Amino acid sequence: MNVEKLKSAVREVLPSVDAVIGYCNGSDPLRAEPCFMKDEKLVEEMILNPLCVHNLTSYLPAEKRRVAVVVKGCDSRSLIQLLQEGLVKRENVVIIGVPCRGVVSVKKVRAAVGHEKVLSVAFEGDAVIIKTASGEKELALSDVSPAKCATCQYPTPLLYDVLTGDPVEPGKPADQVYDDVRKIESMSLPERRAYWEKELGRCVRCYACRNACPLCVCTESCIAETREPHWMSQKATEREKMMFHLIHALHLAGRCTECGECERACPMNIPLGLLKKKINMEMLELFGYKAGTDPTDKPPLFTFRPDEERIEEHKLP
């Protein structure tokens, strides 16, 4: 991740767009924040390091201006999907790609330092050095990365106008991408039910998962809250919470690019990515389709083919 190259790319792009969406330091040393640069003033403050966790393409569907956006490999898949679905117009976005060797999970780092106030964060090679009032702690980046990074297949953006930095070769085990889903599937049905009731029982219905999701675009008419039609009640029961999360997952069938924003945004640490990955596993099996990998492709549920290669037709007598 080369921040100087990024800054010069941003300076070059700035005159042709209304804003560049990138990252700068947050008020807490452990957290970067999305920043919207309209002139050169903020460019010097840009950062590029494993704290740059947010998927900035989530801001694009609501964006009315012509903007440039900084994307990592995983983020570029969301953007491809948004372009495929016509939710973002290609001519309205300049894509600044940054190859990525993994980001941190802020939640994991916090847990590793006992949730104390972080005073400083430094990166040396694959080590993350965290300073708190209790002292300094060195953590391995791979130990405090979100699950998606351990099996990342697309460290280099798949679509960009300018790439800042040398491409990173994918080297993570492709056959392990869905191991976490298989682990859940190996549970018995009552075990699985108990697992999800416990996990989803923590949901506070804040909809951070929905609002952070780049592909969740229903905005004001989300079925979670509409009264007409009145699909869901506002009760905070496990049944209602599960209903919402399953609908969220199903609406992303063939669309979710596994960027993990739902899970990252969840303030209650619910493993929401698993639900979406399960459906992606099915999409891969049924349609051989991976969302957000080819801008010219169409999501399988947006099309109809009389003969699907991998689906056995019901034979009418």
- Say whether residue 253 binds another protein (CB under 8 A): no
x/- map, 79-108, another protein, by CB under 8 A: ----------------------------xx
Question: CB-wise, 58 or 81, nearer to another protein?
Answer: 58
Q: Could you give the CA distance from residue 290 to residue 175 in angstroms, rounded to a whole number?
A: 14
Q: Find out whether 72 and 87 touch, Cβ atoms under 8 Å.
A: no
SS3 216: coil
- Say whether residue 36 binds another protein (CB under 8 A): yes
> Rounded to the nearest whole angstrom, what is the least distance from the CB of residue 80 to another protein in the complex?
21
Cβ partners under 8 Å of residue 268, min gap 6: 202, 203, 204
Applying CB under 8 A, among 20, 118, 144, 149 the residue interacting with another protein is: 118
> Rounded to the nearest whole angstrom, what is the least distance from the CB of residue 214 to another protein in the complex?
11
Q: Could you give the CA distance from residue 27 to residue 296 in angstroms, rounded to a whole number?
A: 40
What is the 3-state secondary structure of 123-144?
Answer: EECCEEEEEECCEEEEEEHHHH
| Residue 20, number of CB atoms within 10 A of its CB | 25
120-139: contacts with another protein (CB under 8 A): 133-134
What is the 3-state secondary structure of 213-224?
Answer: CCCCCCHHHCCC
Owner of token pair 């049905």: 189
- AA letter at 102: G
Question: CB-wise, 26 or 295, nearer to another protein?
Answer: 26
> Rounded to the nearest whole angstrom, what is the least distance from the CB of residue 136 to another protein in the complex?
14
Applying CB under 8 A, among 7, 148, 210, 276 the residue interacting with another protein is: 210
Applying CB under 8 A, among 268, 284, 286, 301 the residue interacting with another protein is: 268
Q: Where on the chain is the footprint of another protein (CB under 8 A)?
A: 26-28, 30-36, 54, 58-59, 107-108, 110-111, 114-119, 133-134, 198, 202, 204-208, 210-212, 219-220, 225, 227, 233-237, 261, 264-265, 267-269
